[in-house]
């Protein structure tokens, strides 16, 4: 009886309830977790935490061939795209248990699988928009929009120096911080003219919260709800403050994380800028000047040449990727200095 009920649910899950589907993505430490908390306070929105559900390129390309790899947590499982490959999925923060095997077995397409998952997690009639937040989503925004014709994406960005400062505070190395920021942000920037993609600056979300949330609601075809600005600290099953963060995302919105790069030494800031402005990514025809001009971020002035250090760091990283569980081998390594 349970299986029959599930099959009926799957057959009728394809947006028959007129729910919009959207993704939130961007570089790590750009405020995507805060944004998820805010939109989730809207009575008509359900936004799942970081499930890694939309970061598996193989599922977009060939669902039938790869769908049963969803169950594999080992090295044979599906890896998330990007610099920080996550194998499998993370449903640990979801309060409702999911019969993942049954959903996978009965879904004939990736989109059917996704809507079945969301209908299982949240089938409330009041819900008009369903979404998910994982930073690496941004790397597959284009694939998502091709697969989900009515889908929408929200790319959140932040001052590049603040992002690197935040990642450094979390114990991530300088080169890795710069590579993650550029890979994610350039990927989102490539969709800047796509009408199904909305760009949000972290600074605007903090300084002018209501207006920014109104824009998001309009983008999702929903009326604005004042509940999104509720300052009451809410209970959450998710981690709401990582090491190195200045702010707990469930508390009242604060601006103490804006311009945190000013706490860094000037020589370190110069090196950060040099790395950000000289690293290029194969296949992405964008550079740091375009990024800063488009998002209206001022650039730091460099007074020293770090070309030899950058070249050594990239060379070491290129070699090390071959010995890690990475998406990059020595031969498809996309990062280079210019």
Distance CA 212, CA 38 (A): 11
Distance CA 267, CA 226 (A): 44
> Is this prediction's pTM over 0.75?
yes
pLDDT for position 285? 95
Q: Where are the domains of the chain?
A: 2-326
pLDDT for position 88? 85
pLDDT for position 228? 96
pLDDT for position 255? 65
Give per-residue pLDDT as tens, 68-108.
Answer: 888 887 777 899 999 988 888 887 777 666 787 888 889 99
pLDDT for position 246? 47
pLDDT for position 96? 67
pLDDT for position 119? 82
Extract the tokens encoding 29. 């430490």
Question: Which ranges of the chain have pLDDT less than 70?
Answer: 1-18, 95-97, 123, 232-256
Phi/psi for 336 (5° steps) reads -150, 165
- CB distance 6 to 99 below 8 Å: yes
CATH of span 2-326:
3.40.50.300
pLDDT for position 250? 56
């Amino acid at each position: 009886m349970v299986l029959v009920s599930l099959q009926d649910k799957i057959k009728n899950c394809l947006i028959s309830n007129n729910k919009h589907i959207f993704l939130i993505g961007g570089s790590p430490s750009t405020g995507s977790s805060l944004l998820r908390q805010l939109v989730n306070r809207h009575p008509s929105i359900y936004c799942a935490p970081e499930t890694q559900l939309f970061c598996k390129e193989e599922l977009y390309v060939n669902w039938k061939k790869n769908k049963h790899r969803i169950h594999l947590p080992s090295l044979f499982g599906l890896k998330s795209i990007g610099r920080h490959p996550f194998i499998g999925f993370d449903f640990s923060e979801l309060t409702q248990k999911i019969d993942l095997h049954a959903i996978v077995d009965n879904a004939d397409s990736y989109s059917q699988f996704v809507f079945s998952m969301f209908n299982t997690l949240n089938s409330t009639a009041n819900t008009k928009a369903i979404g998910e937040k994982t930073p690496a989503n941004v790397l597959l925004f284009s694939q998502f929009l091709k697969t989900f014709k009515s889908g929408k994406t929200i790319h959140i960005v932040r001052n590049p120096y603040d992002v690197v400062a935040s990642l450094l505070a979390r114990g991530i190395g300088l080169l890795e911080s710069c590579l993650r920021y550029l890979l994610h942000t350039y990927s989102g920037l490539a969709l800047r003219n796509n009408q199904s993609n909305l760009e949000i600056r972290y600074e605007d979300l903090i300084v002018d919260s209501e207006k920014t949330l109104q824009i998001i609601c309009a983008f999702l075809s929903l009326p604005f709800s004042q509940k999104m600005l509720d300052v009451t600290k809410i209970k959450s099953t998710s981690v709401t403050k990582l090491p190195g963060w200045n702010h707990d995302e469930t508390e009242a919105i604060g601006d103490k994380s804006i311009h945190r790069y000013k706490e860094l030494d000037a020589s370190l800031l110069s090196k950060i800028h040099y790395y950000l402005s000289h690293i290029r990514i194969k296949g992405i025809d964008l550079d740091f000047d375009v990024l800063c001009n488009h998002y209206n971020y001022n650039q730091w002035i460099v007074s020293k040449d770090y070309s030899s250090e950058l070249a050594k760091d990239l060379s070491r990283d290129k070699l090390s990727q071959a010995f890690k569980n990475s998406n990059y081998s020595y031969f498809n390594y996309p990062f280079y200095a210019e």
